């Protein structure tokens, strides 16, 4: 058990350690080591020091002050980046998980218990993303007025270091802030159709699924810079993505027209305080988990990686969520991924790429070497034509 000791001085990082210092947290050998919390009066740091969690007022690395800069504090004040208000080690993980589920149920109208449970496990997983080498994306999909934005706001409050991105941002700023925060990226109205900032966001989504893949960009001096985009991402879109690879990385929750009651709940101060308590508890377990073995799971349910005949890609998406689901809720996550697997297989067999490949093979077998796009289009299934014509 870790204990919190109150202090009010400066912590100096040992330069012999393998340290990665970012504005809001520090990793030691890839594990959470220092976390910034944004209290009502002033920010503080929680350092995991030899089994104790200790408060410090500032952080130095040798002679350099690496405490958070004012511009990053302002991002928290503006609610662009979410930040725990404190740390709380009094709650067990299973209780925290259920609090997350109750919170989401209060402010988001899910279509089924399995979707609610999957979203809860995803939110919990964001605090332990450093333990995984690949990461699915959670997506709320539906037309205008279906509660997608409300769902993103609700998840933002309980996910680790949520970064809320809008279209009003330049490409250099986008890459810089994603690289600096390295938390949970949330993008509303993520229907990308053109160039500009949309294409830059697509690059982040295409490169942020697997750990260790860097985005390389050249600065004004024509010098190469690398940016890390790996981490959990929550999206809201009206349509599926055209790119099949990107589409296959998404865990979907379909939204239908809702009332404004959930949004009203989300604005109540008492409800907001509930989310702050959840974040404080999950921060404790994030730091505590750094002391665990590499094969440690958030819930020691004895349930191994899902072995239900899922397609390899679905299996990859499922593992982190199963790890972050308590035993009593495993069946609900299974039900969710059974649907994900069926949808994935249907897309593999009858999606536009699969149909085009079959049409081309047929035409080649029939020695037809001239095929116009119009002829190809007419041979696609009706559903496939309708789905892709809306682009």
Q: What is the per-residue pLDDT across 36-92, written as a single tens digit (0 to 9) for each?
A: 999 766 689 999 877 788 999 999 988 889 999 999 999 999 989 999 999 999 999
pLDDT of residue 143: 86
CB atoms inside a 10 Å sphere around CB 272: 13
Percent share of the chain, pLDDT over 90: 42
Estimate to the nearest angstrom the gap between the alpha carbon of 42 and the chain centroid: 27
Q: How far apart are CA 120 and CA 350, in angstroms?
A: 31
pLDDT of residue 41: 61
pLDDT of residue 326: 94
Q: Across residues 19-44, what is the average pLDDT?
A: 88
Q: Across residues 132-155, what is the average pLDDT?
A: 90
Q: What angle do CA 73, 204, 165 make, to 5 degrees?
A: 40
User: Parallel, antiparallel, or unpaired: how do β-strands 10-13 and 58-61 relate?
Assistant: parallel
Residue 279: pLDDT over 90: yes
The average confidence (pLDDT) of the chain is 84
| CB-neighbour burial class of residue 369 (10 A; exposed 0-12, middle 13-18, buried 19+) | exposed
Q: How far apart are CA 157 and CA 152, in angstroms?
A: 9
pLDDT of residue 39: 76
Lowest mean pLDDT among 85-94, 163-172, 186-195, 232-241: 186-195
Q: What is the per-residue pLDDT across 212-270, written as a single tens digit (0 to 9) for each?
A: 888 887 777 787 888 888 999 999 988 888 777 888 899 999 988 765 565 566 677 77
Q: What is the per-residue pLDDT across 296-339, written as a single tens digit (0 to 9) for each?
A: 889 976 555 666 678 888 988 899 999 999 999 999 999 999 99
């Amino acid at each position: 058990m870790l204990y919190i000791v109150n202090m009010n001085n400066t912590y100096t990082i040992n330069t012999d350690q393998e340290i990665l210092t970012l504005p809001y947290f520090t990793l030691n050998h890839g594990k959470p080591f220092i976390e910034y919390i944004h209290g009502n009066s002033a920010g503080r740091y929680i350092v995991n020091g030899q089994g104790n969690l200790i408060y410090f007022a500032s952080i130095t690395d040798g002679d350099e002050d690496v405490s958070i800069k004012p511009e990053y504090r302002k991002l928290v004040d503006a609610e662009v980046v979410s930040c725990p208000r404190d740390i709380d080690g009094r709650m067990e993980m299973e209780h925290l998980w259920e609090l997350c589920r109750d919170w989401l149920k209060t402010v988001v109208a899910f279509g089924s218990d399995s979707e609610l449970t999957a979203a809860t496990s995803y939110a919990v997983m964001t605090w332990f993303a450093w333990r995984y080498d690949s990461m699915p994306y959670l997506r709320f999909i539906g037309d205008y007025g279906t509660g997608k934005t409300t769902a993103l706001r609700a998840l933002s409050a309980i996910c680790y270091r949520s970064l809320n991105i809008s279209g009003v941002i330049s490409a250099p700023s986008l890459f810089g802030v994603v690289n600096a925060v390295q938390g949970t990226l949330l993008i509303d109205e993520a229907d990308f159709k053109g160039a500009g900032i949309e294409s830059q966001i697509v690059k982040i989504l295409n490169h942020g699924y697997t750990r260790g893949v860097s985005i390389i960009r050249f600065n004004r001096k024509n010098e190469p810079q690398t940016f890390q985009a790996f981490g959990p991402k929550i999206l809201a879109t009206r349509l599926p993505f055209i790119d099949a690879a990107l589409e296959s990385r998404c865990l979907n929750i379909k939204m239908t027209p809702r009332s404004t009651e959930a949004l009203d709940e989300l604005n109540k101060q008492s409800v907001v305080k509930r989310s702050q308590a959840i974040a404080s508890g999950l921060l404790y377990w994030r730091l505590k988990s750094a002391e665990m073995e590499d094969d440690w799971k958030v819930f020691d349910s004895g349930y191994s990686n899902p072995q239900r005949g899922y397609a390899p890609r679905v299996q990859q998406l499922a593992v982190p969520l199963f790890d972050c689901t308590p035993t009593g809720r495993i069946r609900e996550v299974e039900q969710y991924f059974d649907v994900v697997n069926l949808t994935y297989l249907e897309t593999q067999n009858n999606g536009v790429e699969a149909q085009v490949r079959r049409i081309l093979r047929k035409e080649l077998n029939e020695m037809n070497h001239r095929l116009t796009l119009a002829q190809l289009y007419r041979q696609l299934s009706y559903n496939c034509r309708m789905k892709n014509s809306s682009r």
